[in-house]
Amino acid sequence: MAKRFAFRFETMLKIRRQREDEHKRIVAARLREIAAAQEQLAVFHRQIREELAAIRSRVSATVPIGVTFDLHANLTRKRMDAATFVIGYRTNPHRDHYDVGYSAGEILMKTIRGEVKHVMAWRKMKLLKGGGINGDFLSPMSPIFNAMRKMEKDPRVLSVSDFPVHIWLDYPELGWSTVAVTDGDRTLAEKLADEIADEAVEMTAFEDFVTEEVRNGRSILGLYPATDEQTPKDFAAWRQKNGR
């Protein structure tokens, strides 16, 4: 009986070690794939930046260049200096590729015809947000997207964009950006870029609230994203209590 038990125990240990070794191989392979993907992503972003600068170097400074990016783009000074205006996707998951491209083309044509004189303002923040809950129709990002849509109802506003960026890029200038493009109104463009930047910073209050709630044992379900009707009420009470 003891020998049979010892045999079974040794067999179980052997199987467990084999599974652990296989798990380690799988994890190591996935980490190599992630590293390769990160490098490809960084190369892709460098190519875009260099191509945009190359286009600008070959045309007059008076030639308008409109650029569209998805909301994970990392905006840099070099990119923004090369572009006349930048427009970002308004949805995540991305569903508005056509609409954003059409808007950029429309602004370009109006510029060429002299119908608008676009002015662009942008803000770069030392702020990063982890990937995952970035949907435009769910908290915590939905208030930002809603604010942008409301701003764009003003006929003086050509576009307002928000770029939470990819947090895995290795750039000295890595960080969240906001962009506002108006028809000749510099003061308004600066104001809107500031307001969306403030919304982004404000969102960190909700992130802190969620972190505290989870550490206190609350389930993430219905909390993040805030699909439970009680969550906004609890967040409001938390803000009042903590002066946020």
Mean pLDDT per segment of 10 residues, for the chain of length 244 residues? 53 69 73 60 55 78 87 87 90 85 91 91 85 68 88 95 83 89 96 93 83 90 85 90 86
Q: How far apart are CA 141 and CA 93, in angstroms?
A: 12
Residue 86 is predicted with a pLDDT of 93
Asked, for residue 223, whether it belongs to a domain, the answer is no
pTM over 0.75: no
Amino acid at residue number 85: F
Asked, for residue 58, whether it belongs to a domain, the answer is yes
Asked, for residue 146, whether it belongs to a domain, the answer is yes
Specify the 3-state DSSP secondary structure of 122.
Answer: strand
Q: How far apart are CA 208 and CA 226, in angstroms?
A: 14
Asked, for residue 138, whether it belongs to a domain, the answer is yes
Specify the 3-state DSSP secondary structure of 190.
Answer: helix
Number of domains in the chain: 1
Domain span holding position 128:
17-196
Q: Decide: 182 and 188 in contact? Cβ < 8 Å.
A: yes
Asked, for residue 235, whether it belongs to a domain, the answer is no
What is the rounded end-to-end Cα distance, in angstroms, of the chain?
67
Residue 179 is predicted with a pLDDT of 97
Asked, for residue 236, whether it belongs to a domain, the answer is no
Asked, for residue 93, whether it belongs to a domain, the answer is yes
Give every CB contact of residue 42 below 8 A, 6+ residues apart in sequence.
169, 170, 171
Asked, for residue 232, whether it belongs to a domain, the answer is no
Q: Which H/E stretch holds residue 179?
A: strand 177-183
Residue 43 is predicted with a pLDDT of 47
List the alpha helices (DSSP H) in 59-164. Answer: 77-82, 97-112, 142-151
